[in-house]
Amino acid sequence: MIEIKNIHKSFGDNKVLKGISGKFEPGVTNLIIGGSGSGKTTLLKCMIGLHHPEEGSVEYDGRDFTQLNTEERIEIRKEIGMLFQGSALFDSMTVEENIMFPLNMFTDQSRSEKLDRVNFCLERVNLEGKNKLFPAELSGGMKKRVGIARAIAMNPKYLFCDEPNSGLDPKTSIVIDELIKEITEEYNTTTIVVTHDMNSVMGIGDYIMFLHEGKKFWEGSNKEIAKTDITELNDFVFASRFMKAAKDKF
Amino acid sequence: MNFTNFGRYILLLKATFKRPEKWKIYMKAIFQQMDFIGVGSLGLISIISTFIGAVMTLQIAFQLVSDFIPKTIIGSVNRDSSILELSPTISAIVLAGKIGSAISSEIGTMRVTEQIDALEIMGINAPGYLILPKILAGITMVPVLVIISMVLSITGGYLGGTLSGAVSPAEYIQGITTDFNPYTVNVSLVKAFVFGFIITSVPAYEGFYVKGGALEVAQASTRAVVVSCISILACDYIITQLML
């Protein structure tokens, strides 16, 4: 479980996060949603230590990440898998080398054991046989799937996904969403997805935290979100005519 | 502002020289970088050194018009100029352009495409993994390139001088072998070592802290070459002052 308490973060005079707290349980897909500039990516980066919050704590199963020294942080980071918005695959490495990279760095497994793990991860994301391709040879959806394969290579306890659907067609988006949900449930990972994709919200949002102007405005599940009468949330989730019509029907 | 940059540069170097997670992987990266910096630059350094040596001989011969000065002096001047100044400094400036911009662009692109963030999230010391192999390759391969450059520059002087008739082969060879002080090679290698460090670490710093996109990566690359060249020239002066 990850628990954040009273997170504050500013860039110069711009206060991006204004005291956000929340709990993210394992085995369920936790979504952080909000409009552009609402602070969701900043919150994610504070949680994984790429930004340092001015105030507040981020606890990984009781271990406060903000209070740990570098070595202790590295130990927690070995338990984290992350899917980046742009996939962040290493350009100079093949798909196989990308997925094998954390295994090479942190395990003493033999090459065949590592290769088995790579093939298992690739199979898990339906990319069998793509081992020798370079990231430049992959489509956007394939890159995301390789990103997921690399993220799960070390059997992470915590999985973070930053805008996993950005730049993808609706069908591929659903494939990625379902993959994230399956992995979360199968391995009981604490998964946090930052998104503004409404299909993801309605499809896999077991727990949703809605950010607005740097504050937590609402939290609940995808079933509850349709019934809410909070104007800011409705303006965001049901912005399109189609979604509005769907809500009215619901 | 410059003090801030220098401070960040020192902090980056401190992070770079932390104990590697796995030496085996770092060794592989070091050899790759040695190949890129050393073998990859051999052709360019060879061509430049040979021509500079040849041109130097012709220019020295042009300026030595007095009958009281023996022509053997052409070889001596060319030898000392090549060893002490031209080979280390010109090679370093050329390498700053070729390797420095490549290092800065590579690391800068990794920064803007979140590849460095990905390394950090995995628990890997990104400065160590990305920069340490480059610095180690730089401080080992640049001196090797400078030694090759010295030899080719003196050989180029021989070819240029004898082919043009500015100096006879015997006079040139007598010139380069008379009063040779091996200490000049030590000075040159110290310069090469320092320049190798600058050529790799300064562009790595510029690339590592890039913010933005393609334009900023290109700007960082240009800045890396400019700062490297100025640093090389400043260190050239300091080392020469201290050692000669």
What is the rounded average pLDDT of the residues A162-167?
86
Residue type, A127: L
- For the segment A100-132, what is each residue's pLDDT rounded down to a tens digit? 999 999 999 999 999 999 999 999 888 999 999
- For the segment A78-91, what is each residue's pLDDT rounded down to a tens digit? 999 999 988 999 99
Q: Do A32 and A40 touch, CB atoms closer than 8 A?
A: yes
**Structure token digits, residue A190:** 């604490």
**Which residues are bridge partners to A9 per DSSP?**
A17
- Say how far apart CA A35 and CA A33 lie, in whole Å: 7
Residues of chain A contacting B23 with CB distance shorter than 8 Å: none
| Per-residue pLDDT at A249 exceeds 70 | no
pLDDT value of position B1: 57
- pLDDT interval class at A70 (50, 70, 90): confident
Cross-chain CB nearest to B121 (options A48, A75, A104): A48
**Do A105 and B113 count as a contact with CB atoms less than 8 A apart?**
no
The residue of chain A nearest to residue B23, with distances taken between CA atoms, is A105
Q: Do A30 and A195 touch, CB atoms closer than 8 A?
A: no
- Say how far apart CA B79 and CA A141 lie, in whole Å: 60
Query: Hey, of A44, A48, A82, A144, which one would you mutate to test binding to chain B, going by the most B CBs within 10 A of its CB?
Result: A82
Q: Do B133 and B33 touch, CB atoms closer than 8 A?
A: yes
Mean pLDDT of chain A: 90
Taking the CA atoms of A78, A81, A85 and A87 in sequence, report the sign of the dihedral they define.
positive
pLDDT value of position A219: 92
If you search the block for the tokens 């999985």, which residue do you land on? A159
Cross-chain CB nearest to A105 (options B25, B117, B120): B25
Taking the CA atoms of B225, B226, B227 and B230 in sequence, report the sign of the dihedral they define.
positive
**Do B25 and A75 count as a contact with CB atoms less than 8 A apart?**
no
- DSSP for A121-171, written as a single string: HHHHTT-TT-TT--GGGS-HHHHHHHHHHHHHTT--SEEEEESTTTT--HH
pLDDT value of position A208: 93
Residues of chain B contacting A47 with CB distance shorter than 8 Å: none
Residue type, B227: V
Residues of chain B contacting A82 with CB distance shorter than 8 Å: 118, 121
User: Can you state the percent helix, strand and coil of chain A, rounding each to 5?
Assistant: 45, 25, 30
pTM, two decimal places: 0.90
Q: Do B84 and B154 touch, CB atoms closer than 8 A?
A: no
Strand spans (E) along B79-237: none
DSSP class of residue B19? Answer: P
Q: Nearest 5°: phi and psi at A6? A: 50, 55
Element (H, E) at B60: helix B40-63
- pLDDT interval class at A169 (50, 70, 90): confident
Tell me, yes or no, if A111 comes closer than 8 A to chain B by beta carbon.
no
**Do A104 and B25 count as a contact with CB atoms less than 8 A apart?**
yes
Q: Which of A214, A190, A210, A197 is nearest to A163 (CA)?
A: A197
**Number of CB pairs < 8 Å for A and B?**
50
Minimum distance, in Å, between the CA of residue B124 and any CA atom of chain A: 8
Q: Name every residue whose Cβ is closer than 8 Å to that of residue A80 and which is 6 or more positions away in sequence.
A: A48, A156, A157, A158, A159, A160, B121, B122, B123
Element (H, E) at A58: strand A55-60
Q: Name every residue whose Cβ is closer than 8 Å to that of residue B17 and which is 6 or more positions away in sequence.
A: B128, B132
Q: Do A2 and A192 touch, CB atoms closer than 8 A?
A: yes
DSSP class of residue A50? Answer: S
Residues of chain B contacting A101 with CB distance shorter than 8 Å: 122
Q: Which of A215, A185, A213, A219 is nearest to A201 (CA)?
A: A219
- For the segment B21-66, what is each residue's pLDDT rounded down to a tens digit? 889 999 999 999 999 999 999 999 999 999 999 999 999 999 987 8
Q: Nearest 5°: phi and psi at A218? A: -160, 150
- Say how far apart CA B160 and CA B49 lie, in whole Å: 12
Tell me, yes or no, if A242 comes closer than 8 A to chain B by beta carbon.
no
pLDDT value of position A160: 95
Residues of chain A contacting B109 with CB distance shorter than 8 Å: 91
**Do A90 and B118 count as a contact with CB atoms less than 8 A apart?**
yes
| Per-residue pLDDT at A248 exceeds 80 | no
pLDDT value of position A200: 85
Residue by residue, pLDDT tens for chain B (244 residues) are: 578 999 999 999 999 999 998 899 999 999 999 999 999 999 999 999 999 999 999 999 999 878 888 999 999 999 999 999 999 999 999 999 999 999 999 999 999 999 999 999 999 999 999 999 999 999 999 999 999 999 999 999 999 999 999 999 999 999 999 999 999 999 999 999 999 999 999 999 999 999 999 999 999 999 999 999 999 999 999 999 999 8
Query: Hey, of B110, B122, B124, which one would you mutate to test binding to chain A, going by the most A CBs within 10 A of its CB?
Result: B122
- DSSP for A75-115, written as a single string: HHHTTEEEE-TT----TTS-HHHHHHHHHHHH----HHHHH
**Which comes out higher in pLDDT, residue B84 or A199?**
B84
pLDDT value of position B187: 97
Chain B stretch 97-126, residues whose beta carbon is closer than 8 A to a beta carbon of chain A: 109-110, 113-115, 117-118, 120-124
Residues of chain A contacting B21 with CB distance shorter than 8 Å: 105-106
Q: Do A207 and A31 touch, CB atoms closer than 8 A?
A: yes
pLDDT value of position A250: 61
pLDDT value of position A247: 65
Specify burial of residue A230 (Cβ count, 10 A radius: 0-12, 13-18, 19+).
middle
Minimum distance, in Å, between the CA of residue B197 and any CA atom of chain A: 24
- Say how far apart CA B216 and CA B109 lie, in whole Å: 10
| Per-residue pLDDT at A71 exceeds 90 | no
Q: Which of A55, A2, A4, A60 is nearest to A216 (CA)?
A: A4
Minimum distance, in Å, between the CA of residue B86 and any CA atom of chain A: 35
pLDDT value of position B15: 95
What is each CA distance from A57 to A4, A22, A214, in whole angstroms? 6, 11, 16
**Do A106 and B21 count as a contact with CB atoms less than 8 A apart?**
yes
**Do B114 and A88 count as a contact with CB atoms less than 8 A apart?**
yes
pLDDT value of position A203: 87
The residue of chain A nearest to residue B26, with distances taken between CA atoms, is A105
Tell me, yes or no, if A187 comes closer than 8 A to chain B by beta carbon.
no
Dihedral (Cα; A97, A101, A105, A111), 10-degree rounding: -40
Cross-chain CB nearest to A82 (options B113, B121, B124): B121
**Do B113 and A88 count as a contact with CB atoms less than 8 A apart?**
yes
Q: Which of B116, B211, B122, B208 is nearest to A11 (CA)?
A: B211
**Which residues are bridge partners to A82 per DSSP?**
A160
Tell me, yes or no, if B35 comes closer than 8 A to chain A by beta carbon.
no
If you search the block for the tokens 């081992």, which residue do you land on? A131
If you search the block for the tokens 């002087």, which residue do you land on? B157
